[in-house]
Structures are given as structure tokens and as C-alpha cells.
Structure 1
Amino acid sequence: MRPSQAGDEQLNVFRFPPLVAPIKCTVFPLVQNQKYEEVSKVISQSLTSAGISHKIDITGTSIGKRYARTDELGVPFAITVDSTSSATIRERDSKDQIRVNVEEAATVVKDVTDGRRTWEDVWSTFPHHSSGSADE
């Protein structure tokens, strides 16, 4: 359990280690926008090609609710598309995010879920921000 962002309720979080999580990643556009939805589908195809189990969510639900829903299911990573060329990858437990090019997203998730890299390693490699940042 962890408090909601507003602090008014407790949210369930299932903390599957990435290696054993049944679903490794979710992909969603930040807002409903045809361009972002197309980029989300391209990332989804890359994840499929890399053998990474994932779900794509193009509903108009708020990003916070989508994060909470995937956290509750134990999905360790979420890729959020907010540009046509780059995306953020959010790590479930810390809620920290890194910024990657669209072409790199599947490789980064695969490396971390397969144990070839740690989240700390990718955190230090890519532009990032912490869940405690004012710009979140």
C-alpha cells in the first residue's frame, strides 16, 4: 500500500520483481491524440518483437489512474508517450522516470526486465526526474 498523490486514500501496489512479472510494461499516450496513439502502437510492436509482455492502453483515463491501475497489477514499468520522438519510462516502486527516444524504449525495458541492467544504471544513463520533483 502507498498513499495516493493527493494523500486521501491508500493505493494497492503489487511488487513483482521485473524478471517474474507476468506483464512487464504498459504503453499509453499521455493524452488522446492520434499522433501519440500511433507512436504507442510502434512502441508496442517493438516490445512484441523483443518478446516483452505488455499492454497498450489508449483510453482517455487520467495518467495517474492508469499508473495506479498498473501498479496494482504489479506491472514494473510504464512507457508514456508525450511526444512523437521520445517517451518516458516510469519505474513502479520509485515512481521515477527516465526519458528515452522512441526507438530505445523496448531495449531499455528488455535490458532491465531481463536483469542485464539495473534501474539505477538506466537512471544514471538517461535524462530523468524523480517522483519528488516539482516538475512531475
Structure 2
Amino acid sequence: MVTDDLYAPLSPCPIPDISDDELVSISVRDLNRTLKMRGLNREEIVRMKQRRRTLKNRGYAASCRIKRIEQKDVLETEKSHEWIELEQMHEENEHCSREIENWKKKYNALLQFAAHNDIPIPPELEGC
């Protein structure tokens, strides 16, 4: 279940000249060095690191959502192609069944014609 506080804005950044994009892209080592050089207290450092983690998690979640949507689209396309192929196979089966029935009718008509005209049927064709 998605709650409103999931997308709530973050508290203001303790260091105004570090953008959220920079905060997410900077390495941990560089972030630690930057925070120490600025002389932030322990609470501000913890808040900055938590902000960074929250921003990164939001990025990962957005990336997963996009990937899931793309995969769903791919699977729906595949499913659609499979249904089309299945329908074509059903149509081909029906066509083959009709063709078999026609051949059976022709064969039976030939048998009747042969019987009516006293034409012997070769033994290999009698059981067909």
C-alpha cells in the first residue's frame, strides 16, 4: 500500500550549496570528507547521510518501477503474439480437419462406385 508520506518532501538540506543530485552522486568517501571540512556537528552529518540514503532509495525504487513497467510491456506483447499464433494454429487445424473429411467422402464415394461397378479394390486399400 502506498502512503502519502512515502512521497513527502525531505526536510531542507543542512548544507544549502550541496544539491540533491550532487548528494546522490558523490562517493561516500568524498561526502565524509566534505562534511568534516564544513565542520558540521554529529546530528547534521547523520541527517545528511540519511537524506542521501533516502534519495538513493527513491532512485532505486523509481528504477525498479520503470523496469517492471517495461518488462510488463514486453510480456504483454509476447502474450499477444502467442494468442495470434494460437489462433492461426486453430484455424489451420480446422482447415486440415475439413480437408480430411473431404478426402474421406471422396474415398467412400470411390468405394461405392467400385462396388457398384464390380471393380475389385486392391487389398492394401481396403482397410483405409
TM range (shorter): under 0.3
Q: TM-score, normalised by structure 2?
A: 0.23
Q: Which has the higher contact order (CA 8 A, sep 6+)?
A: 1
Q: TM-score, normalised by structure 1?
A: 0.22
Higher share in strand: 1
Answer with 1 or 2: which has the greater Rg.
2
Higher share in helix: 2
